[in-house]
Amino acid sequence: MTCKKYEIEINTLKNFYEIYCKGKHDYAEHKKYNLEYKDEKFTLDLNICKECQENIEYSFDRLQTCPHEIKPRCRTCPSPCYDKPQWKHTAKVMKYSGVRLGLIQAKQKIKNLFS
């Protein structure tokens, strides 16, 4: 995948994990990540708990080694690289946060309509 795509992917993970952790856990800590992909460097500030850190690091690793030049959605990937338990957990995080993001966007739309 391109560096741009990689950057979008890590930021999506960040957003989803922060929403999930905020809703589910209550001891988030700040951690700065320095990631590298195809010689480009990315920094990411995360506010999530230890458990979520371990999970997101797993996802960063998988992303790093994703062999697809044009990355498919992990959900529709022909050769999924996640282990089953991690896969299930990540799907749960995405679902939880996706629903909430959808709600926020819907609320903003309504607000925009009336302001």
Provide the minimum distance between the beta carbon of 25 and Zn ion in the complex, in angstroms, as a whole number.
3
13-42: contacts with Zn ion (CB under 5 A): 21, 25
Label residues 3-21 b or e (16+ Cβ within 10 Å = b). Answer: eebbbebbeebbebbbbbb
| Shortest distance (Å) from residue 22 CB to Zn ion | 8
Do strands 40-48 and 29-37 pair parallel, antiparallel, or not at all (unpaired)? antiparallel
Contacts with Zn ion, 51-80, as mask; x by CB under 5 A? -x----------------------------
Residue 93 binds to Zn ion (criterion: CB under 5 A) = no
